[in-house]
Every structure is written in structure tokens, then in C-alpha cells.
Structure 1
Amino acid sequence: MQETRQVDLTKDYFSNLGLPCSYQIDLAALADSHRLLQQTHHPDRFAASDEAEQRQAVQTASYLNQAYGVLRSPLKRAIYLLELQGMEPLAPTNTSMPMDFLLQQMQLRERMEELPAAADVEAELEQLADELLVMHKQLQTDFAAAYEAGQLPAAEVVVRKLQFIEKLQQECNDLEGRLLD
């Protein structure tokens, strides 16, 4: 039987979920750890406890859900890792991007705008979605390499790129819903 791990709300998400503080994590281990901790610290288990213990259980469950959501998302996990290093990758004043990426953004946006008029909307949409997925995976690899090498400013740029690609992926999904329904 696995021993019950306590949750310290002052520690980082990785520590509390028993994971290495790294971008590349085992998502199955994350899910298992989250499930185990949620079972142990679920507020329903404290229904007969005093009000302070009930409140603590609610706070712990909320913390665990927040931690799981952050660590499960490639973008949120990258942001969180940089924040642990004292950086603010999405600060409003932090908008510098390489020119080639800005041009690529413009081209991708133009393709999105032209999709409704395409001869084969479904095929074009699928091709764009596939390209965005490849870009997203490459950016995850780029972030991991920069972060692990201690190149935090480079990792910060990758986070902003990831944010753009994820936003474009969502817009692509939304467009698919509108065009193919």
C-alpha cells in the first residue's frame, strides 16, 4: 500500500505531486498522483471533521485541481516553470518576437481567413490543423531544450510562440465547428 503524501500548499506543484521539476513529465504519473491525492484529501472524507479541517480539505482539493490543470497543459507548465524562476513570460511589456515568427503568424492568419472560400474546406482545415500540431510539438521540444540548458530568455520567447499556436489551434477548432456543422 502506498503511503499517504501530505500536501504543503506553500510548495510548488511538482513537489506536491511527486514529480521532478521539469518540463518533460510523465503525464500518466501526473494523473495517477493527482487521483491518489484527490482521493486522500477529498472534502467528502472530512464531512464529519471540524470546520477548520473541512476548509483545509476544500483548499487542498482546489490546490490539487489547479496544480493538475497547470502541469497537464504544455503551455501552462512552461509558464509555471518560468514563474518559479522569477520570470513573467506573459507580462504585457514582454512582447518581443523574432521577425520570422511574426511573418509566419501573419501567413497562418491569412490562411485561416481564406479557409471559408477554399474549394475543399475540410481538407484545407485538416491540413492547417496538422501543421499547427507539428508546430506545437516542435515548440514543446524547443522549450524543453532551452529550459533544461538554462537559456531562460530563449525559453520565454518559446512560451509566447506556444501561446500563439495554441490560440490559433483553438480558432481553427472553432472555425471547423462553424464551417462543418
Structure 2
Amino acid sequence: MVRYAKEHKQVTRQRIIEKAGHRFKQDGIDGSGISTLMSDAGLTNGAFYAHFSSKDDLVAHVVADELRNQIAMYDTLQPGRQGLEDFIRGYLAPQHRDDPGSGCPSAALLDEIGRCGDATKQAYTDGARAIVEEFAARLAPGDPASARGKAVGLYTMLVGTLQLSRALSDPKFADEILERGVENALALLH
């Protein structure tokens, strides 16, 4: 019975983290109250503190989880540069731009993460470092350290391009930003 309760609590906690991740990316961290987050998870407000000490605690766990999931997705890509090329095209696609709730946590939350506490910033730093390392390993499998600068440039270019495209009201200009972003990112690979 105790074992079930512990497993159930962990499953419930993970459901809150996953639902909060989607909501944060869709509406922003500041735009997502605890009552909305718990409702999304099918729970009452009172259950929140059985899982997290504060909203900041939840945010740090969500950021870590979102980046872990993004990094795990890289394992589904083709090896090497070809996988990066495929990733770039998918990342800078109108579908990704138009669905922030299901997309990249960096492009959706970066400005808010910069105003968060140390735990959230550390979770983000760890995830961002892992993404840069993944890019570098794909760019130069024999010597990832040599490709680190290019990997940092690629990461910042992708996130910034997606953020800019999302901010524009002119759909043609927003699409042009994505198209040029793909061209520029692919040029950076070579």
C-alpha cells in the first residue's frame, strides 16, 4: 500500500510538471497561476504543496524536465550533421513557431527564465550546456571542443530566430525570418 502511494505521488508529480511545461510555454510563467496549473493536471490547488514547496520550485523542475525531453529527442535524429540539418528545418518551421506550448522551452521562456531564481537558472544552464554539447558532438564527432563556438552560435541563432518570428504580426515577414534562419543555420554548419 505504501509503495502504491509513493508511485502514485511520483506519477502525479510528473503529470503536474508536464502540464505546467505546456502551460508555461503557451501562456508564460508569470501568466500561469497555481490554480490554472493544478486544474490542467486535474487536481485541486490544495494538492500543489504536497508536490512542490513553491511555484519557483515547480518552475525549476519544469525547466529541467523540458530541456531533458528536448535533449532526449536528439537521439531520434539521424547521426551527425544530417540529424542537425533535419533538426534545424523542423525547429525553424512555421508549425513549431505557431505551437509554442508543444515546442522549445528556450524560445518560449527565455526572457522569463532570466528573471527567475537560482534553481531555475541552474536547471536552464545545465540543459543549455547539454544542448550545446550535443550540437558540438554532431559538428565534430572526433573533437567536439573544436566546434563549441559554432555550436553556441547555432543554438543562439535558432532560439533568437524562432523568438523573432513569433513576435511579428506580418505572417509573410515571419515566414521570411524562418526561411532566412534556416539558410543561415545551414551555412553555419559548413
TM-score normalised by length of structure 1: 0.29
Q: Which of structures 1 and 2 has the larger relative contact order (alpha carbons within 8 angstroms, sep 6+)?
A: 2
Larger radius of gyration: 1
TM-score normalised by length of structure 2: 0.28
